[in-house]
Amino acid sequence: MITDPDKLTGAVKKLAKEEGFDLVGISSAEPLTQAGQRLRRAVQIGCTAGMSYLQRNPAQRARPQALFPWARSIICVGLNYHFVPLSTTKNHCRLLISRYALGRDYHLVLAEKLQLFKDKLPRTIGREFRSRVAVDTLALMEKPLAQRAGVGWGGKNSLVINPEYGSWIFLGELLSDLDLTFDEPIENQCGNCRACIDACPTGALSELGLLDARKCLSYLTTEHKGNIPPQVFGKTSKKNVCIYGCDICQEVCPFNRDTPQTKEQQFHPRAETLDLNIEQLRSLTEPRFKKLFSDTPLARLSYQQFRRNLQSLT
């Protein structure tokens, strides 16, 4: 049984890399005080739009131990999902669907990989331990946790940016009662760059990395339940067209240039969806839509929302 915190941490990280995670860092389970304050401010000024789950007790979301009092450390992992830039291809869906949604749903992929990692870890460290897998499914502030764990820093595009992988990373966590050595945060390297802020066609971003979901194309086309304000799509151009998600702020980020291609085949685009054009998408029946996008992030979108997004482009 490994008892030394440094050796234990080394064994944990080694196994995480062997299980295919590109990034791994360790955070404490202590409160995320500043992140909690920012969230409360965002709720107060309405930037969380219709995301009621963020508005319910935001202070508690910044306290992992409020959910799991036994938690002592949080193993934060990152998985690269970048593939050959779609702007270099002739595929139609590069203009219609955010690249993170062209492959298998990352919630499923990361949850499965984290569960395997969790199941193997007791044999690696020589003891059982208490733990819980999380992939954007619990009331946790996973981006601030990843930042505190040294996975990356908080960019002005509101995403976690890593020096090697940019912001093309999916995040996941394994909460544990293990006594591990905590990592140091990475210094923010955005500097005076405003590429993402200036490129956002609806003005949803700010210098402080605050995202106004009321103006965000990604939120409006994925989570928003009502009609999309016509003035929002009116600010976009044909080259910025999207019916699910938005990659504009990532495409222009300097740290997203020349990033390595993902090793995870499940994140690669499905051939049957990549070549669809907007006319073909408009002709999809509900059964065909559900079959075509099963196990992808679009499966969380209702057919009515899908049709709404298509109609908003006309």
Active site members: 136
- Within 8 A by CB and 6+ apart from 249, the residues are 157, 159, 196, 199, 200, 205
Instruction: Report the alpha-carbon distance of residue 275 to residue 226 in Å, rounded.
Output: 29
Other CB atoms closer than 10 Å to residue 52's CB: what's the count?
8
DSSP 166: B
Say what angle helices 106-125 and 5-18 make with each other, to 10 degrees. Answer: 140
Instruction: Report the alpha-carbon distance of residue 96 to residue 274 in Å, rounded.
Output: 10
Cα separations (Å) of 181 from 84, 156, 196, 221, 285? 36, 29, 34, 40, 53
Cα separations (Å) of 85 from 78, 253, 258? 20, 13, 9
Instruction: Report the alpha-carbon distance of residue 109 to residue 31 in Å, rounded.
Output: 28
CA-closest candidate to residue 113, choices 15, 20, 10, 11: 20
- What would the DSSP string read from start to end of 195-233? HHHHH-TT----TT----TTT-HHHHHHT--SPPPHHHH
